[in-house]
Amino acid sequence: MSENRSFRAVQERNPALWEKIRASPKDFRVLTGERPTGRLHIGHYFGTLRNRVHLQEMGIETFIVIADYQALTDRGAGPELRRNVHDVVLDYLAVGLDPGAGTRIFCHSHIPDLNQLLLPFLSVINVSELQRNPTVKDEIAQTGQKTVSGLMFTYPAHQAADILFCRANLVPGGRDQLPHIELTRSIARRLNERYFEEPFFPEPELLLSNAPLILGLDGRKMGKSLNNAIFLASTADETATLIKKAKTDSDRTITYDPEGRPEVANLLLVASLCLDKTPETVADEIGDGGAKVLKATLTEAVNEYFREIRAKRSALAADPAVIVDVLREGNDAANAVATRTLDAVRGAMGMDYY
Ligand code: TRP
């Protein structure tokens, strides 16, 4: 099926999926995560983090992978990896992801049995499936890599191991994750058919967030290296300075027009998410105030919305032992689950020699 068609199918299934989740949260297990490439920004927050907290509050068991091996697909390893992993843990805890509520935060590099699942998984897919993955193709094109590493081609199968090691059936994520989820479903189906009498692996569903895409303050993609992102860890002053430099236009009357005035619309969108109003309402309230009032409104809204999260983050950052404890606890839990799954797979494949 083409990517477009499968995306539309996922979109169509989403409302019913939400219904099922609300009706019986206990039937679901979430696995999601990201590459540790730096601190998380408000785009991550409104795009996924807030939704994860919501799922956690519904009582859904949640595993979150800090995908450190996957981070090697587009950058090297080194001392900054440690900093990045620690930053991501702080961001998670600050927004309310909570090991006390059963959320496990772990990283690839410490879960050997998860990584070993990659081998049987690779045995049931073929090279052309890996080669035609549109997300991988985009990433190769974007990073302008001259040669493509074996890890780059195989990381979607590794991601399937992230999801299936704990037999998660729900993966919150964006459209770019869809090819990986489809591969995961194929792997689950093929292993079930080949090696198990009763289905062992679920075929996970992609749960799309309904948050609109937030752009950077210059209208480009919000990214950490572009100096256009408001981070969860940014101070109120840094936020004000960044927003002052945001791109707008010279029309004094503020209107919400995503097509005609994309930069202004994006600022209105962020303000509207923080203020829990529609972007149109925020625009009406600013009226003829122009870019100046728009920026003042946005600065106030962002700083107010993130005040507590930021305070919590700096309090946590003052005690590095917290990060280590959370990771250790998450890794221990993930290791126990991964060992059980790998044992079951080896058993099913006839590799239980003693
Ligand atoms: N591919 C995801 C990203 O680049 C990160 C990721 C790794 C992930 N493993 C995952 C997401 C499993 C969802 C489920 O952001």
Q: Which atom of ligand 1 is nearest to the CA of 158?
A: 9
- Of the candidates 160, 134, 161, 131, the one whose C-alpha atom is nearest the C-alpha of residue 148 is 131
User: Concatenated DSSP letters for 2-54?
Assistant: -HHHHHHHHHHHHHHHHHHHHH-GGG-EEEEEE---S--BHHHIIIIIHHHHH
Query: CA–CA separation, 144 vs 302, rounded Å?
Result: 35
| pLDDT value of residue 223 | 83
Q: What is the pLDDT of residues 160-214, one digit of tens each?
A: 999 999 999 999 999 999 999 999 999 999 999 999 999 999 999 999 987 788 9
Question: In which order are the strands placed within the sheet that holds 170-172?
Answer: 104-107, 61-66, 29-34, 170-172, 205-207
Query: CA–CA separation, 156 vs 179, rounded Å?
Result: 8
Structure tokens at 192: 């079930």
Q: Which helix (H) or strand (E) holds 267?
A: helix 262-275
- Of the candidates 198, 196, 167, the one whose C-alpha atom is nearest the C-alpha of residue 184 is 167
Residues of the chain with pLDDT under 70: none
- Paired sense of beta strands 205-207 and 29-34, if any: unpaired
Pocket probe mutation, ligand 1, options 29, 30, 32, 105, max atoms within 8 Å of Cβ: 32
Please work out whether the CB of residue 239 comes within 6 Å of at least one atom of ligand 1: no
DSSP code, position 197 = S
Please work out whether the CB of residue 33 comes within 6 Å of at least one atom of ligand 1: yes
Give nearest CA residue, ligand 1 atom 9.
159
Please work out whether the CB of residue 163 comes within 6 Å of at least one atom of ligand 1: yes
Give nearest CA residue, ligand 1 atom 14.
32
**Residue 239 CA to chain centroid, in angstroms?**
23
How many CA atoms are closer than 13 Å to the CA of 308, on its beta-carbon side? 4
Query: CA–CA separation, 243 vs 234, rounded Å?
Result: 12
Q: How far is the CA of 114 from the centre of ligand 1 (A)?
A: 14
Please work out whether the CB of residue 171 comes within 6 Å of at least one atom of ligand 1: yes
**Residue 102 CA to chain centroid, in angstroms?**
18
Q: How far is the CA of 42 from the centre of ligand 1 (A)?
A: 18
Please work out whether the CB of residue 73 comes within 6 Å of at least one atom of ligand 1: no
Query: CA–CA separation, 145 vs 259, rounded Å?
Result: 33
- Of the candidates 221, 216, 199, 313, the one whose C-alpha atom is nearest the C-alpha of residue 267 is 216
Please work out whether the CB of residue 114 comes within 6 Å of at least one atom of ligand 1: no
Rg of the chain over CA atoms, in angstroms?
Answer: 21
Strand partners, 107: 66
Q: How far is the CA of 218 from the centre of ligand 1 (A)?
A: 26
Question: Do the Cβ atoms of 218 and 247 come closer than 8 Å?
Answer: yes
| pLDDT value of residue 347 | 98
Please work out whether the CB of residue 32 comes within 6 Å of at least one atom of ligand 1: yes
Q: What CA–CA distances, in Å, run from 46 to 133, 205, 339? A: 27, 21, 34
Q: How far is the CA of 159 from the centre of ligand 1 (A)?
A: 7
Please work out whether the CB of residue 40 comes within 6 Å of at least one atom of ligand 1: no
